[in-house]
Amino acid sequence: MAIFINEPSHTFNEYLLIPGYSSSEHIPANVKLNTPLVKYKKGEKPAIEMKIPMVSAIMQSVSGDRLAVALARSGGVSFIYGSQSIEDEAAMVAKVKAYKAGFVPSDTNVCPEATLADVLKIKRETGHSTIAVTHDGSANGKLLGMITSRDYRVSRMEMDTKVTEFMTPLDKLVVAKEGVTLSEANNIIWDNKLNALPVISNEGNMLYFVFRKDYEEHKENPNELLDEHKRYIVGAGVNTRDYEKRIPALLEAGADVLCIDSSEGFSEWQQRTIAWVRENYGDTVKIGAGNVVDKEGFLFLAECGADFIKVGIGGGSICITRETKGIGRGQATALIEVCQARDEFFEKTGVYIPVCSDGGIVFDHHITLAMAMGADFVMLGRYFARFDESPTEKLMINGSYVKEYWGEGSNRARNWMRYDLGGDKKLSFEEGVDSYVPYAGPLKDNVEKTLSKVRSTMCNCGALTLPELREKAKLTLVSSTSIVEGGAHDVVVKASREV
């Protein structure tokens, strides 16, 4: 006989938070949104802690290298999509890790025989205007000089002019020697009014650049999430088929954390994948798993050794799994049950496994509700797909700008590995749609606005941290009538309101 759960499962839109006492200390400026990304033992700190409770979905239309950099700048983590070749995914990860390292390897170099035409071509292809001239044109050749856009005027020079004729030669450059600290390098930059400082070896070989703009960007982005080498933290998606080849390549490229990208995580396939990681890397490699929607699924992945566990099946805006397969659960109900299991597991074992709420976020306040229900962070797809930094095209449709957004289970993505049940290597039927989302501009501005709402609501609840919110939150189910009451009603609205 089947097990029947006769109580309906609920969505975020069916809940409201009841305000709690807030003192004069409860102002948005005092709210801290730090949250663990991976599991840790009681009394210890997590290996990775985010500054904001937001990660981007493992999707072709969401998580490319540009969005990964932008989100890390704001304090969150992006998971580069795995539905591409191993080489291409690893290259994206490497690009994020190289984007800002404090000490940046010189990836635009020319030899003395290069011409102005070569310099302009490099600038067009890479966007980089600072170029090292080395004896052999390599990143670690003997440094002979440096070229910036101030060293030439295209209108007054021939394209075949050799770089040695207009570069700033080594004897006129301010350089630092290997062993210099980042703080010392920045002092040299400021003292000498430089935009870029070459760092060379004792033998005179090019090693790195340190850029003024990196220092300024850090000051403008105080929440940016960096590793111990001052590089942006980035995640990567893996599947349960080619993990033995994909994971080593991603780790070699610098991935800080992995996540199994699957529509359903209560499976032997995920158990095998995590077991392989633990056998080959122990606990040094961090890997999340999912998705699950109940206590039993959580405990299974917890015992497998997952570093965080994702909750949600069928709640994504482009997901049609519930329609096509009849599988899933209301996101709020699923999250509440899993987070209760997480807390019980922590009390029993002393190991805290963060829970990620994946799907079902329609409005900004749903993020706060998810946190109050126990989530440590949320994974967002549609939300991030709207921004400049997502990988998709910005189009004009019916007079409005939109961006393309498609599900990994759509025919466009054909990510059969996400829905793999051990059968044929193909997508038998669609579990996602191809769509558009309204264009919303840059990630940074939108994330700041969203989180300002989260902070404000937390203050209304008398909480200054996410653990305090989980402890103090009071939630109430609402009727369909009260949902209508919560929006503008019985008036003629003058202009379209922002959603």
Catalytic residues: 319, 418
Length of the chain: 499
Separation CA 232–CA 226 (nearest Å): 5
SS3 for the chain is: CCCCCCCCCCCHHHEEECCCCCCCCCCHHHCECCEECCCEECCCCCCCEECCCEEECCCCCCCCHHHHHHHHHHCCEEEECCCCCHHHHHHHHHHHHHHCCCCEECCCEECCCCEHHHHHHHHHHHCCCCEEEECCCCCCCEEEEEECHHHCCHHHCCCCCEHHHCCEEHHHCCCEECCCCHHHHHHHHHHCCCCEEEEECCCCEEEEEEEHHHHHHHHHCCCCCECCCCCECCEEEECCCCHHHHHHHHHHHCCCEEEECCCCCCCHHHHHHHHHHHHHHCCCCCEEEEEECCHHHHHHHHHHCCCCEEECCCCCCCECHHHHHCCCCCHHHHHHHHHHHHHHHHHHHCEECCEEEECCCCCHHHHHHHHHCCCCEEEECHHHHCECCCCCCEEEECCEEEEEEECCCCCCCCCHHHHCCCCCCCCCCCCECEEEEECCECHHHHHHHHHHHHHHHHHHCCCCEHHHHHHHCCEEECCHHHHHHCCCCCCCCCCCCCC
Separation between Cα atoms, residue 16 and residue 26, nearest integer Å: 20
Return the structure tokens found at 46: 């997590």
